[in-house]
Amino acid sequence: QSVLTQPPSVSGAPGQRVTISCTGSTSNIGANYDVHWYQQLPGTAPKLLIYGNSNRPSGVPDRFSGSKSGTSASLAITGLQAEDEADYYCQSYDNSLTGYVFGTGTKVTVL
C-alpha cells in the first residue's frame, strides 16, 4: 500500500549519526511535494518531527534534520540517544493517487 519506501531498520551506538532514506517517485516527492517526518514511540501516536522537508516544530531537538533531493528525502539523527529508539515515517502527497501517502516505516535501534 505504501508508495514511499524506507529501509525496515537502522541501528547505531549512542552518539553516532544515522540516516533514514525515503524513496518516492515523480508523482510525489519528485513532483516537488514537501516531505514530512514523524516519530512513533511504542504504544503511542505518531508525532510530527520535521515538516516542509527540513523544518523542526518547536520542542524538537536540533539533532534531527531533514533534506530532500529529486525523488528522495532523508532524515538524519546526530548524537543518537536511547530515547530516539522508535519507528520513523516519511509522508508526502501523491498526485496520481490524489491523496497523502506515508513511507513504509523504519525502526531505529540504539545499540
Partner 1 sequence: QVQLEQSGPGLVEPSQTLSLTCAISGDSVSSNSGAWNWIRQSPSRGLEWLGRTYYKSKWYHHYAVSVKSRITINPDTSKNQFSLQLNSVTPEDTAVYYCVRGGEWGLGWYFDLWGRGTLVTVSS
Which residues of this protein are in contact with partner 1, per CB under 8 A?
Answer: 1-2, 32-34, 36, 38, 45-48, 51-52, 57, 89, 91-93, 97-102, 104-105
Residue type, 82: A
Distance CA(7)–CA(10), nearest Å, equals 7
Name which of 21, 103, 2 is nearest 69 in CA terms: 21
Task: Please state the closest distance from residue 63 (CB atom) to partner 1, in A.
Answer: 20
Task: Please state the closest distance from residue 31 (CB atom) to partner 1, in A.
Answer: 8
The residues near 46 (Cβ < 8 Å, ≥ 6 apart) are 38, 39, 40, 89
Q: Which is nearer to partner 1, 12 or 46 (CB)?
A: 46
Q: Which is nearer to partner 1, 13 or 98 (CB)?
A: 98
CB atoms closer than 10 angstroms to residue 26: 12
Task: Please state the closest distance from residue 67 (CB atom) to partner 1, in A.
Answer: 15
